[in-house]
Amino acid sequence: MHVLLVKMSSLGDVVHTLPALTDAITAVPGIRFDWVVEESFVEIPGWHPAVDRVVPIALRRWRKHPLRDFSGPEWREFRRQIRGRQYDLVIDAQGLLKSALVSRLVKAPVYGLDKRSAREPLAARGYHYKVTVPRDMHAVERTRMLFAQALHYPLPTSQGDYGVRQQLIGSKTSRSRGLLFFHGTARDEKLWPETHWVELAALAVAAGYPVLLPWGNEAEKERAERMADQCEGASVLPRLDLLGLSGLLLEADGAVAVDTGLGHLAAALDVPTVSLYGPTSTRLVGAYGHNQLHIQSTVGVDDTRDPVAMMAAITPQQVWQGLLSILPATD
C-alpha cells in the first residue's frame, strides 16, 4: 500500500505526526508513505523509515506573490511530483482548507477529519472519507487515531513511538555534559524573560553543565548573545539546520524549551527536556514522550490577559529542580 500524507506545518505539528507512521508500519505490512511538507521542515519526514519520498511545498513563500507563484514553475513541478505516482489513498493530517485543497490534487480517496474534529471545519468538505476524532485529546493521539481509522487497524494502547531516534543516532554512544536552551518562539507571549534564562544558565554552569544557545533569526541571535555575555559558560551556537540541531540534541545531557517546535524535536529524540508553558495548555500540545517534564505557569492557563506575567511566574529555581529530576545520572 502506498499512501500520500499531507502534513505541511508547523515544526511541532510535523513532529507530532511521526508516531502515527510508526503505528502504521507496525500494523500494515509493506505500507509506504510519501509526505508533503513545507520546505522549511523537509528534513524531518525523511528520518522515518516508513517514508519513501518527501515532497516539499512552499505555500508560506508562494502566498506572498500568489498570482505569480501559483502559475509558476515551482507550483507546476510540485503538482507533477505528486501526480506522478499512483496512491491507494491520501491522508490529510492537518485539517485545514489549504491541506484539503492539496490533498484533492491527487486522484485517490482522501481521508481527513470531519467538521467537528478539524481545525477548519470547511476542510472536511474536501474529503471522501471523514473521520471523527475528539478535539479534547493530545495532538499526537489525535493523529494516531486518524491513521488507525483511515488504514483500518486497531489503535495501539501503548505510548506513541516517534521512530526516528535510532536512525539518527548512528554511532553516538554517550552524551556530553551540556544543556541546550531553546529560548526562541514565534509568539512573543510564549517567551520566558531573559533574566530568568541568565539565572538558569548560572545554575547550570555552577553544576558543571555548559549551556548552548541556538538561534534561528537575528532577534534570537541577539538575545542569545546578550545572555551569553552575562553568563560565563554559556555560548552562542552558529546557525544550524534541523539535522545539525538534532545531532547536538543526541549528544546533550538535556534541554530547556519554551513552547516551540524545537522542544517537540527534543521529545522526539528522547532528550530529557523541561518545557515551559504559559498561555498554551500542556494537555493538548505538551511535549510528548519519555523524559519530558512540563511546567505550566501558576497563573491560570485560561487567564491570558497578561501572558508576560504568566511566563515570568515560572522561576529559574523551579526549572532547575525539574531539570535535575530528569537528567541522567553523572559519575
What are 9-37's pLDDT values in tens digits? 999 999 999 999 999 999 999 999 999 99
Angle at 328 between CA 327 and CA 331, to 5 degrees: 125
pLDDT at 304: 52
- Pairwise pLDDT comparison (263 vs 309), residue with the higher score: 263
Q: Is beta strand 234-236 parallel, antiparallel or unpaired with respect to 32-38?
A: unpaired
Rounded to two decimals, what is the model's pTM?
0.94
Per-domain boundaries in the chain: 2-163, 167-326
Is the pLDDT score of 115 beyond 90?
yes
Summarize the confidence of residues 269-274 as an average pLDDT. Answer: 97
- Pairwise pLDDT comparison (328 vs 38), residue with the higher score: 38
**Superfamily for the 2-163 domain:** Glycogen Phosphorylase B; (3.40.50.2000)
Summarize the confidence of residues 112-137 as an average pLDDT. Answer: 97
CA distances from 269 to 172, 201, 262, 291 (A): 13, 23, 11, 10
Read off the pLDDT band of 305 (50, 70, 90). Answer: low
Architecture in CATH of 167-326: 3-Layer(aba) Sandwich (3.40)
pLDDT at 281: 83
Read off the pLDDT band of 331 (50, 70, 90). Answer: low
DSSP assignment of 6-58: E----HHHHHHHHHHHHHHHHHSTT-EEEEEEEGGGTTTGGGSTTEEEEEEE-
Q: Which of 110-114, 171-175, 297-301 has the highest mean pLDDT?
A: 110-114
DSSP state of 207: T
DSSP state of 177: S
Q: At which residue does the C-alpha cell 531516534 appear?
A: 165
- DSSP helix/strand/coil, 182: strand
Q: pLDDT of 205-257, one tens digit each?
A: 999 999 999 999 999 999 999 999 999 999 999 999 999 999 999 999 999 99
Summarize the confidence of residues 170-188 as an average pLDDT. Answer: 82
Helix (H) or strand (E) holding 282: helix 282-285
Q: Do domains 2-163 and 167-326 have the same CATH topology?
A: yes
Helix (H) or strand (E) holding 131: strand 129-131
